[in-house]
Structure 1
Amino acid sequence: MSIETLKSALPDYAKDLRLNLSSVLSQPMLSANQTWGTALATAIAARNPAVIAAINAELADKIDATNVNAAKVAASLMGMNNIYYRYVHLSPTADFKTMRAGLRMNGMVGHGADGLDFELWSLAVSAVNGCGMCIESHEHEVFKKGATKEQVQAVVKIAAVITAVSAALEGAAALGE
């Protein structure tokens, strides 16, 4: 499946998503690694097999295997961390904020991708998963590594559109459309 096939599968009421999918995947302030790593990581976070397959099919000539793997690492680690740290942040029990998480996160440093790119992917997945504590942490890191506000906005727009496309496709399937 390709991005074009994915767009054609969207119902008519999701026309804006079709248009936005093309535009968010061609933002000039992002490198190919930043764009397609974000797309893959957020597709995995959005959990729609058709969207994951379409994004994955587009990756072959856009980013190398190391970056593909690192985007998968970002998605998997944020899937865990966003739940844990969202709970810590929202819990009324203050002690959780000072307790050691004790969760293995070796992939945060052993992923092989550019540090800024990995942080952008982690930020985008954290936005999908709604973890304010992780968003704050990763946003701080991307700015420290030299990202612009426009780059941050761009990866969050990719996350928003990929997630909305996933939801629209699932909704259409559930409605028999």
Structure 2
Amino acid sequence: MGVDTIKESLPAYAKDTKLNLGSVATTSSLSALQLWGTLVATAVASRNAVVLREIAEEAAENISPEALEAAKAAASIMAMNNIYYRGKHLIGEDAYQSLPARLRMQVIGNPGVDKVDFELWCLAVSAVTGCGVCLESHEKTLAKAGASRDNVHDALRIAAVVHAAAVTLDAEAALA
């Protein structure tokens, strides 16, 4: 069950992903809450049912139901924000930068967990979806709040490996 099940599901050609998944899930500068929230948020963002189900199941044994919901909320709100802010940035027209988003984002102000943890999860999701504007914004917020570079780095590593596992399992399912 959980991370071990994902590792067992990965084909031989994904040995590096398998080893990295084991490493990021067990060796981290993050607290258990931050680790499992990052795993859940990036699993949601990576969109693979097996990865999400296995990680969420194991996370439920390691963090509170409220933290699990907050991690999923981080993935949900960033699914919207990453598209919106990346789109404005990629258009490259200054006139769009001054327009208000007019998108509801109240969960950011009251996520149900410590703001630093939620920001870390938002940063990790932004790495999966590739929004540079959001990555920069969340990293600055985390730095101001006292999060270490190691914390940010570990969240990025988790995002990369969870996404790689999801892509690999999607590819194998498509080829089956």
Normalising by structure 1, report the TM-score: 0.97
Q: How does 1:63-74 map to 2 (within 5 A)?
A: 63-74=63-74
Higher mean C-alpha deviation, range 96-105 or range 61-70: 61-70
In structure 1, what is the equivalent of residue 56 of structure 2? Answer: 56
Work out whether 1:144 is the aligned partner of 2:144.
Answer: yes
* SS of residue in 1 equivalent to 2:26: coil
TM-superposed CA distance for 1:27, in Å, is 2.6
List, as ranges, runs of 4+ consecutive aligned residues in structure 1 with deviation greater than 2 Å.
Answer: none
Distance (Å, rounded) in 2 between the aligned partners of 1:137 and 1:27: 26
* SS of residue in 1 equivalent to 2:92: coil
In structure 2, what is the equivalent of residue 124 of structure 1? Answer: 124
In structure 2, what is the equivalent of residue 34 of structure 1? Answer: 34
Q: How does 1:92-107 map to 2 (within 5 A)?
A: 92-107=92-107
* SS of residue in 2 equivalent to 1:30: coil
Letter in 1 for 2:167: A
- Structure 2 unmatched ranges of 5 or more: none
In structure 2, what is the equivalent of residue 43 of structure 1? Answer: 43
Maintained 8 Å contact 1:27/1:154: no
Maintained 8 Å contact 2:60/2:68: no
Distance (Å, rounded) in 2 between the aligned partners of 1:92 and 1:121: 27
Determine what percentage of the aligned residue pairs are the same residue.
Answer: 49
Maintained 8 Å contact 1:42/1:163: yes
* SS of residue in 1 equivalent to 2:100: coil
In structure 1, what is the equivalent of residue 153 of structure 2? Answer: 153
Work out whether 1:3 is the aligned partner of 2:3.
Answer: yes
Q: How does 1:7-26 map to 2 (within 5 A)?
A: 7-26=7-26
User: CA-atom RMSD, angstroms?
Assistant: 0.9
Higher mean C-alpha deviation, range 108-117 or range 160-169: 108-117
TM-superposed CA distance for 1:101, in Å, is 0.5
Q: Which digits, 9 at most, give the CA deviation of each residue in 1:7-47, with x for residues without a partner? A: 11111000111111111012341101110000000000000
- Structure 1 unmatched ranges of 5 or more: none
Normalising by structure 2, report the TM-score: 0.97
Maintained 8 Å contact 1:25/1:35: yes
